[in-house]
Structure 1
Amino acid sequence: MTSCIRPYCDLIALRMLLLLISMLLVLVRSDSGDNRCLSSLISTCEDCLRSGPECAWCSQERFLDGAHVSQRCGSVTDLRVRGCEEAFIENPNVKVEVNATVGSSQVSPREINIHLRPGGEATFVVEVQQLERYPVDLYYLVDVSASMQDNLDRLKTAGLALSHQMKEHSSDFRVGFGSFVDKPLSPYIDVHPSKLQNPCSDYEVQCRPAHGFIHVLPVTQNMTEFTRVIQEQRISGNMDTPEGGFDAMLQVAVCQKDIGWRAEAKHLLLVMTDQPSHLALDSKLAGIVTPHDGRCHLEDNIYSQTTTMEHPTIAQLAEKLLENSVYSIFAVDQVQYQWYEDLLDLIPGSYVGRLFPKASNLKDLVVHAYKKLLSDVEVQIGVEDGQAQRFRVNVTAFCPDGAAVSGNTKCSGVRPKQTVFFKVTVGMSWCSADGGDRDVLMTVRPVGFNESVSVRIRQICGCSCTETGRCHDDDPSACPAETDACRADRSGAVCSGRGVCKCGTCVCDSSRLGNIYGKFCEMDDFSCPYVKGLVCGGHGRCVSGECVCLPGWTGEACDCPVSTESCVSDDGLICSGWGKCVCGKCVCDDSRRSGAFCEKCPICYNSCQSHW
């Protein structure tokens, strides 16, 4: 070890200490410069809280007298250091509240409330458990075009055998049946008069007319009736290669009452075909330009909009299958296997199997598909329309085999009675334009399950204290004892019977159903009609159980604009003169017309009229 003369050693140590202090000062200045809470643009408590989850606001009077109002914003530690008392620091925390009162056999919890501020994150865990023996509803959706004759014949005997085998895996097995071909329009079918009634007339075979979808038999335990229905089925015919399978699938998914889907059962949709399906844009080949509305259109068990509404998009079909907890099993010809396999990533809860000649393996295919679909446990996250971009969601699945990968929403090989845990982290980037006055609804839905988790996100975008005043009541003994100031009228109840009067101000009760607020606790967000998840459509306030609409809105749920301005087309007419303005949207008088202003009608005039 080297030595030095004492005065020189002290000088070197002093210089090193000064150097260290200067480095720390640089770091502090750098940290302060990067601190989002110390912006001169911040002028209110709301601005401060929106700056980031680390920012808090001091509402103490005479805090930093003479300083710019933005100095009231900072980290909690910083505000304490600068002399702000704890009682005046506005710093709402992220909260997760689980409602354990709603029971569930498969998915838990069922209801969660989250309080989030901009930049904040909240984490919760969802448990999904596979039961051992579910009730099962299986709906056969069969392509009855001429090339499916052998498969249809096989179904007449395989259906009963499948029913017996499924009883080994289900406590209550039921079946239903429907058929499809294609849209009965040119160029999908031959529209020659002789072919409309019998598409197989060239082959001296009596076929049934082509149809989009016919619902033949609701799900039932009566296998005798099922066998009789199958025996009565006859083939049909069309011209082009693709069929109208997606059209029929959507109707089976959304027409729950007609099909007979049971709420407590697993819903299996078995699609038997040897061809791909038409997609949405294919409908324009027949002059059909009206987009599918995603609703049920069965009249006397026949799909009534097959000739007037487009095929659904793949995304639309996937959404409706998910909403109605329907698993899809595609039993397809070897040649078309790849086409349907490419759909698996686009349609959650789907399976594709190769159908052997004459459907000889149909029974084993369905049983294997059922086991595979139930062994895959996957969740889908949905945020109400127009709000998803403000939230970021990360899911980590903890599988029974010990695997856990961030961003993974699926576990495979799950056995009955095993539980899968999904850790869900939700972050909010910024507040909505309305300042976060309303809750945002998010759904965590296990694919194919008839239970889901409802997550209500409360946005913390405002402050409970005044900008430069006390956050809490003064001495309660100095408050007046009268409660007249807490009554809407002299004969009315104090705080509408839903709160207590403190110092002449109503403090409203908390409710598991939602929020109670207002000067006299007369308003809430749960006792009035909802439209798209919003009380009073987001255009009014709920007062004493009735919607009080904002100017420009009307209706029981404040969901109809008073003005018809949104229906005025470029020519200055309401709906181009071809319709009426109902609730701010055009309703066309002629079913052939479409478009936001009824301005589209590609089939109103033929080419001869247009090119004299």
Structure 2
Amino acid sequence: MDFCKCIISISLFAILAQSVTSQNLSKCFFQKTCVECLDADFSCAWCTDENYGMYKSRCMTLSDIQASNCSSDKVETNKNFSKLTIIKKEPLRDYDREKLEAIQISPQRIKIQLGKLEAHTFHFTYKPAKNYPLDLYYLMDLTWSMKDDRDTLINMGDQLAKALANLTENYGLGFGSFIDKPIMPFVQTEEHRLKNPCSIEKQVCEPTYGFRHRLQITNNIDGFIEKLKTSNVSANLDNLEGGLDALMQVLVCDDRIGWGANTRKIVILATNGYMHMAGDGLLAGISERNDKQCHLSDNGEYLGSLIYDYPSLEEIYRVLGKSKTAVIFAVTDELQEYYKSMRDLMEEFTSVGLLQDDSSNILQLVETGYRDFVKRVEFTDNAPSYIQLSYLTDCGGIYKTPQEVNKCDNIEIGKEYDFFVEVRLVDYPSDLVSNLTVKIEEALISNEGVVLDIDIRQHCQCELDSEPVSGSEICIGNGDYSCGMCYCHSGWIGKRCECNLQNFDSSADLLNQCREEGELDELGPICSDRGECICGQCLCNPGFEGPHCECSQCIPISGVICSNHGECDCGACNCQNGWAGDECDCSTDQGTCKAPHKEELCSGQGECSCGRCLCSESYFGPYCEAMAGSESELCSYYDDCVRCAIHKKLGAKCDNLEAECKTKLGLYSAEFFDTLEDMLNCTARITHEEITCDFKYTYAFDNRKTLIKILNQDCSKTNVIATAFSIAVLTLLLGTLVMIIFKVKMVIEDRKLYQKFEKEQQNETSYEMQSPLYKSPISSFTVPKEMADSELK
């Protein structure tokens, strides 16, 4: 049963593989021009060889077109066109003071020749540079309630310089302030209130203004503090400010603000109020939409405050992306949720920080906001809709496997991050653009990125190399020859423009000759939709045949048609006697389903199909003769022949029995294996040299040959004396080795103890000589010389 399933699976796989090949072939076969051919499928190839034969299909798979004798140097493929070349690849480096630039992305320029089907993949590396320049613009709400904040900043001059220096050695600082539009209902318009909007507080302040640019970006911190000191507060009527008006001018007035060309740009917008949005200007009769242009006077005053409405968040978002500027909203606690909702709409470019009531934590906000933008990277591109770019990265090991993302968080300065980009041509541009430039760049880094010079295939190389030949002989003078094809003049059709339509009543009459008549005298499709009509005759696609391509060719399996047991007739196999099935692969001989010396098919426990038994549940074996958990009843039939094979392996003879086995089993073989995976379980008991061994075996059949598989078994007598002697010697050697190891260990430990004793003795003597308080426990006495002399006498 398992064998049958295997045969069926192989057959289905072969049919499926043939079907896939036929599909690819069909995709190629119907194409009329070179470009259409190559765009149909990546496997398609186009033959431009003049000697190839006009009545062959010029569009097929590469292998088929080569088999059709097309010259190898006259073949157009997708691989011939599609190329990727790196044009510029300067190494990554940190900020260079002399060149005033850093290189954080490499390579910088790539040229791609792109066909419709083949995608190109390349990779670029991003490395955040040390000391990358920072331009910081402090945009401050200078309404009356922010007076303390201004005074705090004035006292932070040195600390602000140190804070910026800790972030990067190359920094610049600019300053501007905003209030609101000086018109009702945003301010009171009485003359004395216009001159001094703080009169209600019995204080004096500046007249209300929209936005005032006060200091161009500079590294002069003293100049920044001086501008703060001379910037007085003002006031407006409502609790909403004109901060978006001011922010738009800061973003679009590049030269006036002083933004650098190769810098990271950050705006800190500090306020304790809400923002007027687009449409609020209508309250004052200002209806003209914000034009996103610079309107600063020579002294930095915003001139469009009473002309243009407040910008929308969508307009701010687009300008942030274009100018590559980040914004930190430094706001008080009660405003955080309001500004966080704005941040969620522009999260690539904005963040929100908590500002103390007197701005005393502004330095911390600057540092936190800067690091928040630096530690993340996001790449965008300006590819049109017909070019698709897909990104893949592991973010420097953050992901175990690369992810389909174009951004990373927790970026580290000086570490390299690899991004892989797939470029694919989805469709041809409607304006027939053949080359374009696409730039991949980081969302917050200006003038850096990867430039892609893309050439789109609009023509095959053969069309570019030579002009069409007008009135070519190949086209019998009735058409123009180009790239292997005849483009017929009016009134002529055919592969070589050989058919004169004047010889037919109509082109329909010509095509009708390629249609098959149906049962009701109705004409079918041209060439059964399986070929091409050439001058009233069908040129069939590969895999089809017949006058109208109405017949499918038989599918060869393993290179054989109808299993060599039949003949193909219009796509169907006519099988020889004794065979059946769609491929004539099913034997009708039921003798192979009968166990030896039995007439019952499949032991009465299954059905005979294609000459093999399909067993009922719980039964198995070639004849369904075995039941799960029990030994096959055929084991005894093969037992003598198995014993003979085992005796021969062990050196014994069984010539007569072997001859009987050949008579009994016919073609058979007996082989030994280290493992048996068959469910059949037979056992042959053998006595050899006074030792009894059990050999397990199984049996099977293949092409009327009996296959016996026997499990290897060691059935030799063990030498007891030699074994005992070996064990004794091994034990003696092991004991001697243990004693030697123990003796070496004792000697080493004794030497260590003696060295320790000598060291302690030296320490004791040294202590006695050095310490005046030490008294030796050993007493010594010297006999006086006089007494010694008298004793001698």
Query: What TM-score, normalized to structure 1?
Result: 0.67
- Per residue, is there more helix in 1 or in 2? 2
Report deviation, 1:450. Answer: 4.6
State how far apart, in whole Å, the 2-side matches of 1:269 and 1:166 are: 14
The residue type equivalent to 1:88 in the other structure is K
For residue 47 of structure 1, what is the aligned residue in structure 2? 36
Please provide the CA RMSD for this pair. Answer: 3.3
- Does 2:306 correspond to 1:307? yes
Report 1:289-300 matches (<5 A): 289-300=287-298
Cα-to-partner distance string for 1:168-215 (whole Å, 9 max, x where unaligned): 232133311001122333333333444333322322222323222211
State how far apart, in whole Å, the 2-side matches of 1:127 and 1:453 are: 10
Q: 1:278 to 1:87 in 2, by over 3 A?
A: farther
State how far apart, in whole Å, the 2-side matches of 1:268 and 1:208 are: 28
Q: 1:465 to 1:240 in 2, by over 3 A?
A: farther
For residue 363 of structure 2, what is the aligned residue in structure 1? 363
State how far apart, in whole Å, the 2-side matches of 1:467 and 1:62 are: 20
Per the alignment, in what secondary structure is the counterpart of residue 249 of structure 2?
Answer: helix
Are 1:314 and 1:347, in contact at CA under 8 Å, matched by a contact in 2? no
For residue 37 of structure 1, what is the aligned residue in structure 2? 27
Q: 1:438 to 1:356 in 2, by over 3 A?
A: same
State how far apart, in whole Å, the 2-side matches of 1:436 and 1:369 are: 43
For residue 426 of structure 2, what is the aligned residue in structure 1? 429
Q: 1:257 to 1:469 in 2, by over 3 A?
A: closer
Report deviation, 1:339. Answer: 2.4
Report deviation, 1:84. Answer: 2.7
Q: 1:430 to 1:202 in 2, by over 3 A?
A: same
- Which one of 200, 205, 213 corresponds to residue 207 of structure 1? 205
- Does 2:346 correspond to 1:320? no
The residue type equivalent to 1:397 in the other structure is T
- Does 2:422 correspond to 1:418? no
Q: 1:23 to 1:258 in 2, by over 3 A?
A: closer
Per the alignment, in what secondary structure is the counterpart of residue 465 of structure 1?
Answer: helix
- Which one of 388, 397, 401 corresponds to residue 393 of structure 2? 397
State how far apart, in whole Å, the 1-side matches of 2:43 and 2:308 are: 52
Report 1:265-304 matches (<5 A): 265-300=263-298, 301-304=300-303
- Which one of 54, 77, 82 corresponds to residue 91 of structure 1? 77
Report deviation, 1:53. Answer: 4.0
Q: Identify unmatched segments of 5+ residues in structure 1.
A: 3-8, 472-612
For residue 217 of structure 2, what is the aligned residue in structure 1? 219
Per the alignment, in what secondary structure is the counterpart of residue 63 of structure 2?
Answer: helix
Per the alignment, in what secondary structure is the counterpart of residue 24 of structure 1?
Answer: helix
Report deviation, 1:89. Answer: 1.9
Q: Looking at both structures, which has the greater relative contact order when contacts are Cα pairs under 8 Å and sequence separation is at least 6?
A: 1
Are 1:394 and 1:406, in contact at CA under 8 Å, matched by a contact in 2? no
- Which one of 430, 433, 438 corresponds to residue 435 of structure 2? 438
For residue 48 of structure 2, what is the aligned residue in structure 1? 59
The residue type equivalent to 2:140 in the other structure is V
Which stretch of the first structure deviates more once superposed, 342-351 or 417-426? Answer: 342-351
The residue type equivalent to 1:97 in the other structure is T
- Does 2:392 correspond to 1:406? no
Report 1:94-105 matches (<5 A): 94-100=82-88, 105=103
For residue 14 of structure 2, what is the aligned residue in structure 1? 24
State how far apart, in whole Å, the 2-side matches of 1:275 and 1:101 are: 49
Q: 1:33 to 1:189 in 2, by over 3 A?
A: farther
Are 2:332 and 2:356, in contact at CA under 8 Å, matched by a contact in 1? yes
Which stretch of the first structure deviates more once superposed, 115-124 or 354-363? Answer: 115-124
Are 1:121 and 1:425, in contact at CA under 8 Å, matched by a contact in 2? yes
Are 2:394 and 2:403, in contact at CA under 8 Å, matched by a contact in 1? no
- Which one of 136, 142, 151 corresponds to residue 153 of structure 1? 151
State how far apart, in whole Å, the 2-side matches of 1:338 and 1:331 are: 12
Cα-to-partner distance string for 1:542-593 (whole Å, 9 max, x where unaligned): xxxxxxxxxxxxxxxxxxxxxxxxxxxxxxxxxxxxxxxxxxxxxxxxxxxx
State how far apart, in whole Å, the 1-side matches of 2:18 and 2:466 are: 31
State how far apart, in whole Å, the 1-side matches of 2:111 and 2:244 are: 37
State how far apart, in whole Å, the 1-side matches of 2:131 and 2:463 are: 58
State how far apart, in whole Å, the 1-side matches of 2:72 and 2:287 are: 64
Per the alignment, in what secondary structure is the counterpart of residue 379 of structure 1?
Answer: strand
For residue 228 of structure 2, what is the aligned residue in structure 1? 230
Report 1:329-478 matches (<5 A): 329-345=328-344, 346-383=346-383, 387=384, 389-403=385-399, 405-448=402-445, 450-466=447-463
For residue 481 of structure 1, what is the aligned residue in structure 2? none
Cα-to-partner distance string for 1:514-537 (whole Å, 9 max, x where unaligned): xxxxxxxxxxxxxxxxxxxxxxxx
Cα-to-partner distance string for 1:128-168 (whole Å, 9 max, x where unaligned): 21222233222110111233222222222234421122222
- Which one of 249, 254, 261 corresponds to residue 256 of structure 1? 254
Report deviation, 1:414. Answer: 2.1
The residue type equivalent to 1:37 in the other structure is K
State how far apart, in whole Å, the 2-side matches of 1:187 and 1:36 are: 74
Q: Larger radius of gyration, structure 1 or 2? A: 2
State how far apart, in whole Å, the 1-side matches of 2:285 and 2:64 are: 68
Report deviation, 1:355. Answer: 0.5
Q: 1:182 to 1:126 in 2, by over 3 A?
A: farther
Q: 1:401 to 1:443 in 2, by over 3 A?
A: closer
Report deviation, 1:446. Answer: 4.6
Are 2:441 and 2:448, in contact at CA under 8 Å, matched by a contact in 1? no
The residue type equivalent to 1:400 in the other structure is G
Cα-to-partner distance string for 1:333-361 (whole Å, 9 max, x where unaligned): 11221222234452424321100121121
Are 1:182 and 1:210, in contact at CA under 8 Å, matched by a contact in 2? yes
Per the alignment, in what secondary structure is the counterpart of residue 253 of structure 1?
Answer: helix
Are 1:102 and 1:111, in contact at CA under 8 Å, matched by a contact in 2? no
Per the alignment, in what secondary structure is the counterpart of residue 303 of structure 1?
Answer: coil
Q: 1:287 to 1:419 in 2, by over 3 A?
A: farther
State how far apart, in whole Å, the 2-side matches of 1:191 and 1:407 are: 57
The residue type equivalent to 1:319 in the other structure is R
Are 1:59 and 1:466, in contact at CA under 8 Å, matched by a contact in 2? no
State how far apart, in whole Å, the 2-side matches of 1:214 and 1:372 are: 28
Aligned residue pairs, count: 453
For residue 116 of structure 1, what is the aligned residue in structure 2? 114
State how far apart, in whole Å, the 2-side matches of 1:280 and 1:43 are: 56
Which stretch of the first structure deviates more once superposed, 126-135 or 354-363? Answer: 126-135
State how far apart, in whole Å, the 2-side matches of 1:391 and 1:228 are: 52
Are 1:126 and 1:421, in contact at CA under 8 Å, matched by a contact in 2? yes
Q: 1:142 to 1:38 in 2, by over 3 A?
A: same
Cα-to-partner distance string for 1:480-515 (whole Å, 9 max, x where unaligned): xxxxxxxxxxxxxxxxxxxxxxxxxxxxxxxxxxxx
Per the alignment, in what secondary structure is the counterpart of residue 357 of structure 1?
Answer: coil
State how far apart, in whole Å, the 1-side matches of 2:435 and 2:14 are: 45
Report deviation, 1:270. Answer: 1.1
Q: 1:365 to 1:16 in 2, by over 3 A?
A: closer
Q: 1:452 to 1:309 in 2, by over 3 A?
A: farther
The residue type equivalent to 1:59 in the other structure is T
